[in-house]
């Protein structure tokens, strides 16, 4: 049962009243008065409904032992040790909790979460302990892919803040194939992840074009007091709509036609290579699909991974690039 913030605040206040060791019995008027002292709006009818829900609503899952004492003219918990804060998590809640912690762990190394990293580590251990108490397994039934730490994550927070505040930056950037770093006056628009590595899309003021920088090659980031140049065109997140990976070429979007073996085709039908995929034919001879993509290095890598289970049918330019890469691979194994 999803709770609104206001309802949860009221439940917590009621629970605070009934668990008060110095005052066990509370009249409706006293609870409302306490709520008003906290600037919490609570009409009598709302409070009566809250008491009913905390006691009887199975979706809420409190099953609070709330009772009314005529002698003491007030409501109370029949079980003096009860508190909604002591309720155990359900198996579904623990699983959701674990997934949430794992999601945050993907950002480890980012300064924006540095203060919480220790907390997430502790929460992960707590979730594991709770789960093991509720199952007979001595191990986690969920195995996440391990996410490696990459250089450059120390700049994540500064880049993120620069994007949302639209602050230009002076970025010192060193390519892998260049011995000397280069400075870019950069207007940042978007952070993108691909295969556990982060990239920054922005506008290079000197070359006057969009540029993508890998965070693991950024050496330093500094603020620059110049007017910010807003993104031109569609929304920044649509910049990568017709790509696999992060490399954008000027060749434009091409219609790509691929053949997959019958066995491999079954996998392709259940997990799309790209959202533009269209099935042209599906027979015992194989699966033929089309994709609307920019031809880049990441696409070639993806297609090569299918080995003999895939063949490029169109366009000719992509077939030639694939053939060239395969020839170079074969050359390596001639010895």
* Cβ neighbourhood burial of 298 (10 Å; 0-12, 13-18, 19+): middle
**Which one has a higher pLDDT value, 173 or 248?**
173
Short-list 210, 209, 226, 110, CA closest to 166:
226
Q: Is the confidence at residue 107, as pLDDT, over 80?
A: no
- Asked if 218 and 172 touch (Cβ cutoff 8 Å), the reply is yes
Give pLDDT, residue 62. Answer: 85
**3-state secondary structure at position 148:** coil
Q: What is the pLDDT of residues 268-315, one digit of tens each?
A: 988 888 989 999 999 999 999 999 999 999 999 999 999 999 999 999
CA 124 to chain centre: 17
Highest mean pLDDT out of 102-106, 147-151, 160-164, 318-322: 318-322
pTM above 0.75, yes or no: no
**Which one has a higher pLDDT value, 112 or 229?**
229
Q: Is the confidence at residue 100, as pLDDT, over 90?
A: no
How many whole angstroms separate alpha carbon 139 and alpha carbon 128?
9
Give pLDDT, residue 1. Answer: 46
Q: What is the pLDDT of residues 68-98, one digit of tens each?
A: 999 999 999 999 889 988 766 555 555 566 6
Confidence of residue 130 (pLDDT cuts 50, 70, 90): low
How many whole angstroms separate alpha carbon 211 and alpha carbon 201?
6
Give pLDDT, residue 177. Answer: 80
Confidence of residue 5 (pLDDT cuts 50, 70, 90): low
* Cβ neighbourhood burial of 324 (10 Å; 0-12, 13-18, 19+): exposed
The mean pLDDT of the chain is 83
């Amino acid at each position: 049962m999803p709770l609104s913030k206001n309802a949860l605040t009221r439940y917590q206040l009621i629970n605070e009243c009934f668990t008060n060791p110095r005052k066990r019995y509370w009249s409706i008027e006293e609870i409302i008065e306490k709520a008003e002292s906290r600037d919490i709006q609570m009409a009598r009818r709302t409070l009566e409904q809250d008491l009913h829900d905390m006691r009887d609503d199975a979706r809420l899952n409190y099953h609070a032992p709330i009772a009314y004492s005529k002698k003491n003219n007030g409501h109370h918990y029949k079980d003096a040790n009860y508190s909604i804060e002591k309720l155990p998590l359900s198996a579904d809640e623990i699983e959701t909790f674990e997934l949430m912690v794992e999601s945050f762990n993907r950002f480890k190394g980012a300064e924006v979460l540095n203060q919480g990293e220790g907390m997430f580590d502790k929460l992960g251990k707590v979730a594991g302990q709770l789960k093991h108490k509720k199952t007979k397994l001595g191990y986690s039934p969920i195995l996440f892919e391990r996410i490696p730490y990459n250089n450059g994550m120390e700049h994540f927070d500064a880049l993120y803040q620069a994007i949302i505040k639209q602050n230009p930056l002076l970025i010192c950037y060193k390519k892998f194939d260049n011995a000397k770093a280069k400075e870019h006056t950069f207007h940042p628009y978007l952070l993108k992840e691909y295969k556990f590595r982060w990239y920054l899309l922005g506008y290079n003021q000197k070359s006057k074009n969009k540029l993508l920088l890998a965070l693991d090659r950024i050496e330093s980031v500094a603020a620059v007091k110049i007017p910010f140049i807003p993104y031109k065109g569609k929304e920044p997140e649509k910049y990568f709509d017709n790509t696999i990976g992060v490399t954008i070429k000027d060749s434009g979007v091409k219609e790509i036609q691929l053949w997959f073996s019958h066995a491999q085709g079954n996998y392709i039908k259940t997990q799309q290579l790209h959202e533009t995929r269209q099935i042209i034919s599906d027979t015992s001879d194989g699966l033929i699909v089309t994709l609307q993509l920019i031809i880049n290095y990441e696409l070639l890598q993806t297609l090569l991974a299918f080995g003999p289970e895939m063949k490029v049918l169109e366009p000719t330019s992509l077939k030639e690039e694939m053939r060239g890469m395969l020839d170079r691979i074969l050359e390596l194994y001639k010895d």
